[in-house]
Each structure stands twice: as C-alpha cells, then as structure tokens.
Amino acid sequence: MKSGSKTDYEPVMEWDSRVLMYTNPLILKQLFGALGASFLIVYLILLLATGFDPEMIPFFFGMLMLFLFICLLAFAAMAIMGGDYLVHNTLGEKSFVCETQRSRTRLMKLLCAVGFFGGMSQGNYTLAGSSALAASRLKEEMKWKDLTSVTYNPKRRYIYVKTGLFAPLAIFCNPDNYDAVEAFVREHTQPYLDTIEAEKEDAKAQKVKK
C-alpha cells in the first residue's frame, strides 16, 4: 500500500487487490446483475416498440435462453482471465477510483469489443449492451459526497458503496490494510451520510405534522 500527500488531487492511499471471481458472491452478483439489467432493458424496449404484442411472451423465453448462454460466456471469460479479478484502488480526499489493473485492461477491452461487435452483427443486443456496460466499468470514480450508502464487510475484506440504485461499487482490500481503509472511508463519508439521515428524519417529521 502506498501513501501520498493529502491534497485534493493526489492519492492518499493506493494498493492492488486480487479477488477470486468464482468464489466471491459480490462479484458474481454485480456481474450477473449487470447482465440481467441489460436483458430486461432490451426486452422492455422491444415490448414498447411492438405495442405490447402478445407474441413477445414466447420471445421472452427465447431471450431467457440467450441470457443463460451469455452467462456461460461470462464464466468462459472468467476462465480466460485466470479466474481472478485484479483491481487497483486509489483513495483521495475528494473521491476514489477503482480500476482494472493494467496487466488485464487490454484483455478486458478485447473481450468487451468482441462481445459488443459480435452481438451487434448478430442482432444480439443483450450481449452488445452487457459488453458495452462491462467496458464502461473498467475504471470508475466516485466522489465521497455523492455516496448514499456504505456497507462494511471485514470478514470478506470489502466495502460496498452506492450512489444510487444502479451504481454500486466495491472497494476490495487486503488483509494488511482493511482496517486502515475502513477508517479512511468512514472519515470521508460519515458526515455526508449523517446529513442524508438527518434529512430523512426531517422529512418524516414534516409528514407527521401534516
């Protein structure tokens, strides 16, 4: 773990983590959640475009089989990557960044490009959409002030954060730095979370008065 000077622009903490994808429920949840979201979005768009045609019901089951096939492809992609997720984490005073390590970035971009263009050429928009979504999440940055929820899991050594319903992100730690990372995250998020909680309490109080 590296430390830097505490400025708004330079990292305060940096480290690399290696996470086994097959055995980590959080990664599996995020992966298949993203695939499922892409599947539902594509189906809803087609449903609206056809004016809720009854023939879309059997089409749904066809797409469901396609979704299961894409899940198998996702497991194959995991195998190609060695079954592990290599992530580089950077924490700063105003925000934090989680990104795929450089040694895996090219491979991930290649797999996403193959999935996207292959899906588009075959009319498989679910595959294309999920590939584009995966490519967009190779590097993500969140500002501490934008977080709405933080969950700490010292047993599995990760911190799960959200800025909204569809924007979760996990900060994966190592055995030697989890406590320090948790303390840093608490220091930089708790004031904002306390403000959100106070606003909720005020809203409840206003409803009671009415």
Per-residue pLDDT tens digits for 104-158: 556 555 556 666 666 666 665 555 665 555 555 567 888 999 999 999 999 989 9
Q: Is 83 left (phi over 0), alpha (psi -120 to 50) or beta?
A: left
Name the one residue in this structure whose structure tokens are 């996702």. Answer: 74
DSSP letter, residue 177: T
- The three-state secondary structure class of 54 is coil
Euclidean distance between CA atoms 17 and 127, whole angstroms: 28
Residue 39's pLDDT is 73
Residue pair 68/55 in contact by the 8 Å Cβ criterion: no
What is the pTM assigned to this prediction?
0.62
pLDDT tens digits for 156-188? Answer: 899 999 887 656 788 999 999 999 999 999 999
- The model's confidence at residue 5, banded by pLDDT at 50, 70 and 90, is very low
Number of other CB atoms surrounding residue 59 within 10 Å: 14
- Is the Cβ–Cβ distance between 174 and 158 less than 8 Å? no
Determine the pLDDT at residue 174: 94
What residues does each domain of the chain span?
2-209
pLDDT for the residue 134:
59
Residue pLDDT, tens place only, 66-95: 667 767 766 676 666 666 778 889 999 999
